[in-house]
Structure 1
Amino acid sequence: MPYEIDDNTPKLFRPLSIRGVTLRNRICVSPMCLYSLASSGPSTGVLTPLYITTIGHNVFKGAALAMIEATGVQPNGRITPHCPGLWNEAQQQGLQQITDFIHSQGGLCGVQLSHAGRKSSTQPPLVAQQLGKSSARASSDDGGWPDDVLGPSGGVEQSWDGKGLDLSGGYHVPKAMTEVEIQQLVSNYARAAERAVKAGVDVLEIHAAHGYLINQFLSPVTNRRTDQYGGSFDNRVRLLLEVISAVRAVIPESMPIFVRVSASDWLEDTEIGKKLGSWTVESTVQLVKLLPSLGVDLIDISLGGNHHQARFNVFDGGVKHREIALTIKQTLQAEGSDLLIGTVGLITKAQQARDLVQGSPISGPGVDVISIGRQFLREPDWVLRIADELGVDVAWPAQLQRLRPGPSARI
């Protein structure tokens, strides 16, 4: 927090209250997968102290909210066998250790609840790279679940990379979920939310982006169902709305819910997009208008990840995130909606971050929060550095006071 807030303090460094919590600034730690947890035994999916030195360290140095990476609400919902889960007591206790540390540093902790769908049971990227692949399947010998990979639709054509049973493929062939499995999934989201509350988490984010299961249900490219969960827009968004309602019903009214969405499949101009349709920015605007009445507080705008033929992927789509997030913000504000908007991706510079949140009378309103991922991995001091560049006198950790730059150093 700045020592003093006046008319010259950038909005980026002003606090933001959402329901019963207050972010000390508008800078969040984006959920970033570490692929570093036990894949078997009693510690399966249990967070370790590594998360204090990575995610927690960024809060120690000024970030307001740290979001724990995609966390499976059931065993087959993890991206890899080495990803976190939140379906048992041990995982809840592991999460609480991280939450306790983040709170001790004056920050907030969030957890991103997820199911990876047809992108599950893969190897950690480092393993895939050693095999010369961008992705590799995790077999049962690797702790994976090749026979229990699920999606809205099934069959060889529904493998993420389109390679089906080809041994060079990096993804398993999914099975179409039954309606019973869908209802069990909704219940598991609620149970994981209850565990998060018990672990002291401040914010919940529902992962509906990057080609994971809920994103797969949203898109007509990956959702070829003919029942109440497929076909029309209303049917394709049904799972997400049911998950939100189930989670809101079991958590305190004071706890915010965020939803991360891929605002576009980036398939509109591709052969498959023209044939099957695509999830578009217009689809996202239509969706987000439904969410405030269900108790959602913030939409976290990202892009891509749902199909290998997309024009942009999760890693290079950041060039478009900001533009789309601002467009959605302006659209909602013009309609009188107070839904908060966040975004992520390739935010590295002080002035860039400031202007993205600040907005202007000419460009319109800015976003409400930003999430920083890769830049925190490169530069854990990022919040402190950009505060100095922007002339904001923020509190430094007491242990680091002698490193504080400039004549305003508080020794």
Structure 2
Amino acid sequence: MFEHLFAPIQIRDMELKNRIIMPAMGTRMADEKGFVTDKLIAYHAARAKGGCGLNIVEVAAVHTPSAPAHFVSISEDCYIAGHKKLTDAIHANGGKASIQLWQGSIAACMDPKAQMLVVSEMNFGGHTIPAITKEQIQEVIACYGKAAARAVEAGYDCLEFHLAHNYLPHSFLSGGLNHRSDEYGGNFENRSRFPLEVIDEIRKNMPEGMPLFIRIDAQDDMLEGGMTIDDTIRFCKLAKEHGVDVLDVSRGNIITAASMYEVPPIDVPNGFNIENAAKIRKETGMLTIGVGRINTAKLANELIENDRVDMVVMGRAQLADPEFANKACEGRIDEIVHCVGCNQGCYDGFTDVMHRPHITCMRNPMIGHESEYLMETTQAPKNVWVIGGGVGGMEAAQVLQARGHKVTLFEASNELGGEFLLAGEAPGKAEMKQAAMEMAQQTERLVTVHKNTKVDAQMIQNANVDAVIVAVGSSPIMIQLEGMDMLPHASATEILRHEVCPKGHVAVIGGGLVGLETADTLASDGCKVTILEMKDAIGSDLGSLRKISVMMKMHQLHVDMRPNSQVCKFTSEGIVLKDGSFVACDSAVFAVGFKANDSQELVEACEEKNIPCHIIGDAKKARRAIDAIAEGFEVARTL
């Protein structure tokens, strides 16, 4: 199945067993000094064991002074032994290993102790950072060569040079970032000088038969004076002459809204960058990797079959399911846990250095714990009830079943999926609804499910059950206001499900994620929409990249967004705000959040019978799906 995706490919002396690439996604799993940890080894080994053709170890710092804490480093000889353990683990599990040689420029700011090297003088955080000197340029070039030699000694099968995302090499290449007046700036030839010198230095420190990849942006989006796709093609032809074999064609930068293209959220179309990659491939004649929300085997196979690209990056697809490649190859498509581009665990988890030690995944809480959370069969099987069929309840049920417990799941409605299904009703989020439906089908194949069944205290009293997991979710908050009988109104849930379809001018009360998606639904249906948010910011509960995408959509739909707008009362002609101002509208929608459903009766019934009872997800407190799934997983893992 998917024969094009699983066809081998020869690159110099390296043969990959298939065309699936695990890209160099930052994990923050290295230790504070950049040493490879057992956690990182287990993470990569799991994807190699899962059938991935090539694992690229992420953003490995080549220059010690500018190496951020918890980023992988290969800037000194002391790191070689750890990398050797990592490549050995990948090889032992049937994969091939690459490493991405990286100098992060302003991205080093994630560690205040790391030096920031910039191509041209720039103001950053209220401070002026001087441009990198010629002496430092030569120092960094030499560091790339030494890092390449270390990577060869550590047993990597190929190397990748990171030349994208306005890290230092891309900053030199791009006219939108490089404003130097010496031989490293100005015209295209001068701007190309530094990255080509780096390529030469890397190439001379690796065997002739070892492939060299570069990760490069197809173009500079939203960056005045930046690289066009024709500039990129021109550079790639030069890179080919200097010994580069493969183009890993990405997109985005970290100083404009185009950062959303680096880790594209669900709002960005699947395969959005493929046409760029295909054009670059055609013009250069080079092996090319397609990148950009390729999260199904069907899409990946079609891209290769249709001769658009030679290989595909499937990063978050393998975060969500480390067995993705094996399942796809064996035709077990209905078992795959698909990425939905939520960005909650991968990107938001990576940047949230205060609250998360490393990345995670909404759909896979095992990330970073592959060697710790062994799903061992229980020696004491229990009869467990899971009350509630949202994603938290389904996760708990599946993990319990995998461990050998007898599981019965009860859902009060006629379908599994809970609020995840609702989230998938918003425009552009069909993947989320599909994922909820897939998870429901997987759950129903594994455990006993009773739909349209509301569990009460009497059922628990009469049951022979050893443990109960309460996952009864949450319900929309409906606030009471003066004059509510004078203006038509509905809940966000009713709008998203198209149970209520207002016309004309609609005011959405609440500017969080649900309010924004409700506004999207209404505006897409032709309504004039105003969002009223009492806080001083709209979309404060969105991750940074989703927020960029959603806000762009709001502007495209001409949605009027008004922060600091607390609703006071309704009239027959609109809404009066606390400051006395008036918003004329034909109807209103409440999107002010959700509250946990009452589970006290169930908890008390369990207490009376001394049945261990665990409350998870929104039933504990209304939050995000990543919290519900993580809690369902943790309770089931330890029960």
Matched, 1:228 2:154: no
Of 8, 12, 19, the match for 2:12: 19
Partners of 1:114 and 1:349 in 2: how far apart?
29
Q: Structure 1: which amino acid aligns with 2:313?
A: S
Query: Residue 137 of structure 2 aligns with which residue?
Result: 182
Residues 351 and 390 of structure 1 are in contact (CA less than 8 Å); yes or no, is this contact kept in structure 2? no
Q: CA deviation at 1:225?
A: 0.3
Residues 297 and 328 of structure 2 are in contact (CA less than 8 Å); yes or no, is this contact kept in structure 1? yes
Map residues 113-192 of structure 1 onto 2, 5 A cutoff: 113-122=101-110, 138-139=111-112, 144-145=113-114, 148-156=115-123, 159=124, 164-165=125-126, 173-192=128-147
| Higher share of residues assigned strand | 2
- Give the structure with higher Rg (CA): 2
Quick one: percent identity of the two aligned structures? 32
Query: Residue 329 of structure 2 aligns with which residue?
Result: 387
Query: Residue 304 of structure 2 aligns with which residue?
Result: 357
After superposition, give the CA deviation of every residue in 1:59-95 in whole Å (9 maximum; x if it has no partner). Answer: 11111110000001012333x3210111222211111
Residues 30 and 344 of structure 1 are in contact (CA less than 8 Å); yes or no, is this contact kept in structure 2? no
Of 75, 97, 111, the match for 2:64: 75
Q: CA deviation at 1:12?
A: 1.2
Residues 304 and 312 of structure 1 are in contact (CA less than 8 Å); yes or no, is this contact kept in structure 2? yes
Query: Residue 258 of structure 2 aligns with which residue?
Result: 310
Q: CA deviation at 1:38?
A: 2.5
Matched, 1:209 2:164: yes
After superposition, give the CA deviation of every residue in 1:200-232 in whole Å (9 maximum; x if it has no partner). Answer: 111100000112111111111211100011111
Query: Residue 10 of structure 1 aligns with which residue?
Result: 3
Partners of 1:236 and 1:247 in 2: how far apart?
18
Q: Structure 2: which amino acid aligns with 1:20?
A: D
Map residues 23-62 of structure 1 onto 2, 5 A cutoff: 23-39=16-32, 44-62=33-51
Closer/same/farther in 2, CA of residues 77 and 299 from structure 1, 3 Å limit: farther
Partners of 1:238 and 1:103 in 2: how far apart?
36
Query: Residue 331 of structure 1 aligns with which residue?
Result: 283
Question: SS state of the match for residue 214, structure 1?
Answer: helix
Partners of 1:371 and 1:224 in 2: how far apart?
33
Query: Residue 262 of structure 1 aligns with which residue?
Result: 217
Query: Residue 407 of structure 2 aligns with which residue?
Result: none
Query: Residue 125 of structure 1 aligns with which residue?
Result: none
Residues 214 and 246 of structure 2 are in contact (CA less than 8 Å); yes or no, is this contact kept in structure 1? yes
Q: Structure 1: which amino acid aligns with 2:301?
A: R
Matched, 1:85 2:78: no
Query: Residue 65 of structure 1 aligns with which residue?
Result: 54
Matched, 1:195 2:150: yes
Partners of 1:54 and 1:309 in 2: how far apart?
30
Q: CA deviation at 1:307?
A: 2.5
Query: Residue 407 of structure 1 aligns with which residue?
Result: none
Q: Structure 1: which amino acid aligns with 2:279?
A: T
Closer/same/farther in 2, CA of residues 37 and 290 from structure 1, 3 Å limit: same
Residues 99 and 109 of structure 1 are in contact (CA less than 8 Å); yes or no, is this contact kept in structure 2? yes
Unaligned runs of 5+ in 1: 1-7, 123-137, 166-171, 360-364, 392-402, 404-411
Question: SS state of the match for residue 250, structure 1?
Answer: coil
Partners of 1:173 and 1:313 in 2: how far apart?
28
Q: Structure 2: which amino acid aligns with 1:31?
A: A
Partners of 1:98 and 1:205 in 2: how far apart?
16
Residues 266 and 304 of structure 1 are in contact (CA less than 8 Å); yes or no, is this contact kept in structure 2? yes
After superposition, give the CA deviation of every residue in 1:29-72 in whole Å (9 maximum; x if it has no partner). Answer: 11111113232xxxx21111112221221111111110000001
Partners of 1:289 and 1:202 in 2: how far apart?
24
Q: Structure 2: which amino acid aligns with 1:217?
A: F
After superposition, give the CA deviation of every residue in 1:276-320 in whole Å (9 maximum; x if it has no partner). Answer: x11121111111111221111000000011432438531227753
Partners of 1:102 and 1:173 in 2: how far apart?
43
Matched, 1:284 2:232: yes
Partners of 2:171 and 2:65 in 1: how far apart?
16
After superposition, give the CA deviation of every residue in 1:110-147 in whole Å (9 maximum; x if it has no partner). Answer: 0000000122131xxxxxxxxxxxxxxx33xxxx23xx
Partners of 1:27 and 1:18 in 2: how far apart?
14
Partners of 1:76 and 1:319 in 2: how far apart?
37
Query: Residue 357 of structure 2 aligns with which residue?
Result: none
Residues 56 and 66 of structure 1 are in contact (CA less than 8 Å); yes or no, is this contact kept in structure 2? no
Of 92, 97, 100, the match for 2:85: 97
Closer/same/farther in 2, CA of residues 153 and 343 from structure 1, 3 Å limit: same
Partners of 1:220 and 1:18 in 2: how far apart?
32
Question: SS state of the match for residue 238, structure 2?
Answer: coil
Query: Residue 399 of structure 1 aligns with which residue?
Result: none
After superposition, give the CA deviation of every residue in 1:221-262 in whole Å (9 maximum; x if it has no partner). Answer: 211100011111111111110001111111100110000001
Residues 253 and 259 of structure 2 are in contact (CA less than 8 Å); yes or no, is this contact kept in structure 1? no
Q: Which has the higher contact order (CA 8 A, sep 6+)?
A: 1
Partners of 2:2 and 2:163 in 1: how far apart?
34
Q: CA deviation at 1:390?
A: 8.7
Partners of 1:301 and 1:216 in 2: how far apart?
16
Query: Residue 312 of structure 2 aligns with which residue?
Result: 370
Closer/same/farther in 2, CA of residues 66 and 76 from structure 1, 3 Å limit: same
Question: SS state of the match for residue 299, structure 1?
Answer: strand
Partners of 1:309 and 1:99 in 2: how far apart?
36
Question: SS state of the match for residue 327, structure 2?
Answer: helix
Partners of 2:46 and 2:258 in 1: how far apart?
34
RMSD: 2.1
Partners of 1:291 and 1:46 in 2: how far apart?
31
TM-score normalised according to structure 2 size: 0.50
Partners of 2:241 and 2:41 in 1: how far apart?
35
Partners of 1:198 and 1:369 in 2: how far apart?
26
